[in-house]
Structure 1
């Protein structure tokens, strides 16, 4: 089937119209597949499990999955609804409705992107400005702090009460995508208070997701951070700091340990932009970008084939690490 973005609604339709059309589609689903992006974070998993829990409670057959890695990151094992997760190979080829959450493009679904073709209808729920709108219906709110925040609006319109289990999943996405509320916007703390009022332990959730790593993380950090480079003249003299994580550096560690490095590198006061190159295979890189505020790294990532948010984005690249860094410096200007 062809996933035409205008099949169910115009992308220029008022957000309230898109929300109502999304509720109508969800309400009429008879079987549902929910897909999270590869190398999942707490926003995509929290969103997927929260939506999965709602369908399961309604008696609708539902599966939640992601293509890689093979296992859920340890920090997310305590999230409610993990019993709904199925291995990528077990995801049904066909479904009445396929929903992707927090996934900016079909490519971010990895090997499960082919499941879009077997769905009678496809729905994309996201908050990334760079989303390519690859679904039949696309609910994209780039003003939202997280995809879980988009789901709160959706659940409210759908008449879904947010209890402690749903709040746990939704809070997980909110606390991680706001960097523990370091870049919270107006209304973020109000939403957090609403979720916390269900009785969830926000401190424990944040500790599990953001402050829990195996001992092997420490020597990996030592090796990677000691090789970081500060290019003061990059970004028009505002500075770029970059580090490289090779496969040998993170052997035996999970993707969440690798993903955490950028938040340490970005603290460099002399650099407006931080970048971490993560080697997934020889010559293949996943690049994370962060900006302190004056550079739109989403626009930079888009020029290099990726996307994300204004202050946090990423893309994939291939070749030698020095050539990837050179291309990034050129894109940054």
Structure 2
């Protein structure tokens, strides 16, 4: 048996692992299996889901589908991932699969129009690493504190005796690298590097993968970033005096530069560099009065508390939610929630 993968607080009980293994092992080779990740999938959601799907194929399961809610558009940086042939539009996903596996979704709402599969399908197994996970599904493999959902996916593959190959490893490596910010965030433990080493042992090329995922953007996206970063606002007194920096990107911005919404996902990493602010935020317009909101913290404020207050979720250092209203209205709610989170921490301290 390979070395044990990453361990962290909140590790699932042995009975949960056994139930998940039994749910997979008990399937007929022609059983319908549906893998679902969250809306607007990122590298961890897609990589964990596709890597696990390839693992199921290695077990001999022939009817494996992978999907996510919303338009069936894979962001450009992930369009060379192995396992993309497993993807189907949400409208074509199995209605009554024998097994449903959910990846990187902290709540049922993140499954969008696919949430009904939790009721119409058979056993639902949830693989996640968000501390704010609401506890949905029949079998819950939620490792709060793990660096990425791919950590949980790799552990379940190991328990199923699925050997890593280059395709599975590339998917899991992309998931791990994206959710650790290229191994820069605090969740990057020695165990995370050991997992990365096991994945690299399959022969995948980290330099090529990193260039594709992190260092390749259309020129239009670069110009779009300039516009959006140029309107960033710093509020030094916000977040209990820890500082708050925010900006927003509109649908008009995307249209003017002829870009797709996914190009905005890495923008938060540029905003969070502001030395004067602990908390950073990017609002990305998704409708006339709707915004996908990304929050980051350097440690003084738990942004997952803010996101949960506003019907979202995430981690202490990274979280998000969907906000409604004008950009200033959404920012005002964030500002109030930040102050409440700081007061809550001070009361507990």
Q: Deviations over 1:253-303 (max 9, x none)?
A: 233311111110000000000011111001101110000111111111111
Please, which runs of 5 or more residues in structure 2 have no aligned partner? 1-9, 340-349
Q: Which residue of 2 aligns with 1:16?
A: 14
Cα distance in 2 between the residues matched to 1:279 and 1:55: 37
Q: Distance in 1 between matches of 2:216 and 2:39?
A: 21
Q: Secondary structure at the match of 1:187?
A: helix
**In 1: Cα distance, 2:72 partner to 2:84 partner:** 14
User: 2:244 — aligned with what?
Assistant: 240
Any residues of structure 2 matched to 1:27-176 within 5 Å, and which? Answer: 27-29=25-27, 30-60=31-61, 61-176=63-178
TM-score, L = length of structure 1: 0.94
Aligned to 1:293: 299
Q: Deviations over 1:37-93 (max 9, x none)?
A: 111111111111111112223332110011223321111111111111111111111
* 1:214 and 2:218 matched: yes
1:252-331 equivalent positions in 2, closer than 5 A: 252-331=258-337
The answer (yes or no) to whether the contact 2:32–2:94 under 8 Å persists in 1 is no
Q: How much does 1:135 deviate?
A: 0.5
Structure 1 pair 14–170 and aligned structure 2 pair: CA distance change class (3 A): closer
User: How far has the Cα of 1:17 moved from its partner?
Assistant: 2.4
Take 2:262 and 2:191, find their aligned partners in 1: how far apart are those partners?
A: 28
How far apart in 2 are the matches of 1:188 and 1:57?
A: 25
CA distance in 2, matches of 1:126, 1:22: 13
Summarize deviations over 1:219-251 as a string: whole Å, max 9, x none: 211111111100011011110000011111123
Alignment partners' CA distance in 2, 1:270 and 1:69? 38
Kept in 1: contact 2:101–2:125 (CA 8 A): yes
Structure-2 separation of matches of 1:312 and 1:230: 19
SS of match in other structure, 1:95: coil
**1:317: Cα distance to partner?**
1.0
> CA offset at residue 14 of structure 1?
5.5
Cα displacement (A) at 1:115: 2.1
Q: Contact (CA 8 Å) 1:38, 1:69: kept in 2 or not? A: no
* Deviation string, structure 1 residues 196-240 (Cα, Å, up to 9, x no partner): 111000111122111111111012111111111000110111100
Matched residues in 1 for 2:259 and 2:100: separation?
31
Q: TM-score, normalised by structure 2?
A: 0.89
8 Å CA contact 2:220–2:259 kept in 1: the answer is yes
RMSD across aligned positions (CA): 1.4
246-255 vs 256-265, which moves further: 246-255
Segments ≥4 residues shifted beyond 3 Å: none
Deviation at 1:13, TM superposition (A): 9.4
Shift of 1:160: 0.9
Does the C-alpha gap of structure 1 residues 258 and 13 become closer, same or farther in structure 2, counting only changes over 3 Å? closer
Contact 1:39 1:255 in 2 (8 A): no
